[in-house]
Amino acid sequence: MNTLTFPLRNLRNHSIRSILTAAGIGAALASLLALVGFSRGVDRAVILTMEDRGTDIVAVKKGSVEVLTTDLDEGLAGRIRSVPGVLNVMSSIGDLVEMESGEMAYMAGWSEEGGFWSTLKFTAGKRPDPGDMGSVVLGEALAEALGKKPGDRIVISGEAFRVAGITKQASVIDDRSVMMPLQVLQRLLGREGKVSGFHIRVDHPENSSRLAEVRNRLSAAIPEVAFIESGEVAHYALMTRLLHAMAWASSTIALVMAFVIVLNTLLMAVTERTREIGLLAAIGWKPSRVIAMIVLEGVLIAAAGAVLGVCAGLLGLKLMMMHPQIGGFLQPEVTPVLVLQSVALVLAVGAVGSLYPAWRATRMRPMELLRGE
């Protein structure tokens, strides 16, 4: 018999209650992993998109809360280009669309200028020739989901296009995108002459002070536009901010629930075992040892919950990714560090949740407990 035997035996003697408690904690951990994982996945996708395209600074309408639907005049590109330090500017417009098969896709319209088209890595076919307004490029995941290959016809917003090429990009957003010339998408969306934003490359992006300097110049030259460094875009976008807030709010609620579950279970356990705790005091167990035993029970049950939670969270994410509306469009970012952080958080919840029951156990008077039988 060692320090672990007694708490383990206590949990095993109430196996159903222990399993249910661990399941509750596991559900909390699984939600935390899924929500935070998705939230981080969106951040990662945005960053990868910027990296893929070599974007250093993004220009969007000032005060707009949603980057995707911001509306800027296409003619601003010339003013941006004239600012010293700006290497080139790509105008882009974008929106989400539901394909005929029900798949969600991101439509991206790119200007010829800016070099975006040349950043694409084709697995099949090629980019539409300049001036070809009847062809599009599909991200690989979307092409697979739609079963399309170069040369096939595809209907977008009621209009037929030819698939010119399939591209494989690092970002899940690009992988799930339909890319087409800027003017085509402007027409499809009824936003002629308008763009969602500008992607700007600067002359020395590796130099952070130079980057900040160019951005400041841009802000001064065109005050009605917000210029955001590419690494900060994810934090600027309303969707990602909302997702972050929801992820943390839901995770906090889940953890509070886990705390209450541990508290309730161990309070019940302590109440049921008053005589036993009295006995331990009678045979010379120090209060600190009694506290350690109960806290250990809390930590053990949280550890069991953590194992369940990690398995359920990862399995749940896998199942969610199989859903056509989610799979491929959102890629959760569940790193080993996030798993370890979540497990540590849940173990801490187990320990903290057991402190009050443990303290209560040591406040009981052993004589009364022993006489109580």
Partner 1 sequence: MTDSTEDDRVNASRQAESIPSPESGSGALIRFDRVSRTYPRGQVRAIREVSLQIELEEYVAVTGPSGSGKSTLLYLACGLDRADAGTVWLDGTAPKSTAEWTRLRSTRIGFVFQTFQLIAGLTAAENVELPMLGVATSEKKRRKRAAALLERVGLSDRAKHRIAELSGGEAQRVAIARALANSPSVIFADEPTGNLDSHTAREILSLLEDVRKNEKAALVIVTHDDLIAERASRVIHLWDGQVVGEELRREPA
Q: Mark 282-301 with x for binding to partner 1 (rule: CB under 8 A) and - for no binding.
A: xxxxxx-x------------
- Count the site residues for partner 1 by CB under 8 A: 27
CB 5 → partner 1: shortest distance, Å? 7
For residues 325 and 308, give the distance between their C-alpha atoms in angstroms, rounded to a whole number.
27
Binders in 47-86 for partner 1, by CB under 8 A: none
Coil, strand or helix at 198: strand
Take residue 30 and report the two structure tokens written for it: 């699984």
Q: Could you give the CA distance from residue 31 to residue 69 in angstroms, rounded to a whole number?
A: 30
Residues in the chain: 373
- 287-321 and 238-272 helices, crossing angle to 10°: 140
Round the CA-based radius of gyration of the chain to a whole number and report it. 29
Q: What are the backbone dihedrals phi and psi of residue 246, each rounded to the nearest 5 degrees, phi first? A: -65, -40
Kindly identify the residues of this chain, within the stretch 151-210, that bind partner 1 according to CB under 8 A: none
Contact between 281 and partner 1 by CB under 8 A: the answer reads yes
Query: Closest CB to partner 1 among 85 and 366?
Result: 366
Of 298, 249, 324, whose CA–CA distance to 98 is shortest?
A: 324
- The secondary structure of residue 230, as a DSSP letter, is G
Contact pattern from residue 5 through residue 34 relative to partner 1, giving x for each residue in contact according to CB under 8 A and a dash for the rest: xx--xx-xx---------------------
Residues 80-119 binding partner 1 (CB under 8 A) are none
The CA angle 92-330-306, to the nearest 5 degrees, is 150
CB of 357 to partner 1, least distance (A): 18
Interface pick for partner 1 out of 23, 239, 279, 291 (rule CB under 8 A) = 279
As a whole number of angstroms, the distance between CA 220 and CA 227 comes to 10
What CA–CA distance (Å, rounded) separates 85 from 207? Answer: 12
Question: Which of 132, 152, 232, 276: binder of partner 1 (CB under 8 A)?
Answer: 276
Task: Tell me the closest approach of the beta carbon of residue 356 to partner 1, in angstroms.
Answer: 20
Interface stretch with partner 1, choices 56-64, 119-127, 225-233, 359-367 (CB under 8 A): 359-367
Under the binding rule (CB under 8 A), the answer on residue 275 touching partner 1 is: yes
- Residue 12 or 153: the one with the smaller Cβ distance to partner 1 is 12
Residue 238 or 367: the one with the smaller Cβ distance to partner 1 is 367
Minimal distance in Å, beta carbon 16 to partner 1? 15
How far apart CA 338 and CA 310 sit, in angstroms, is 11
Shortest reach from residue 17's CB to partner 1, in Å: 13
Q: Determine the distance from the C-alpha atom of residue 138 to the mean position of all C-alpha atoms in its chain, rounded to a whole number.
A: 24
274 binds partner 1 (CB under 8 A): no
Q: Characterize 192-215 residue by residue with b for buried, 16 or more Cβ atoms within 10 angstroms of its Cβ, and e for exposed.
A: eeebbbbbbbbeebeeeeebeebb
Buried b (16+ CB within 10 A) or exposed e, 168-186: ebebbbbbbbbbbbbbbbb
Q: In angstroms, what is the minimal distance from the CB of 104 to partner 1?
A: 54
- Looking at the Cβ atoms of 109 and 366, the one nearer to partner 1 is 366
In the complex, the smallest distance separating the C-beta of residue 13 from partner 1, rounded to whole angstroms, is 4
Q: Which is nearer to partner 1, 98 or 368 (CB)?
A: 368
Applying CB under 8 A, the residues found at the interface with partner 1 are 1-3, 5-6, 9-10, 12-13, 275-276, 279-287, 289, 365-367, 370-371, 373
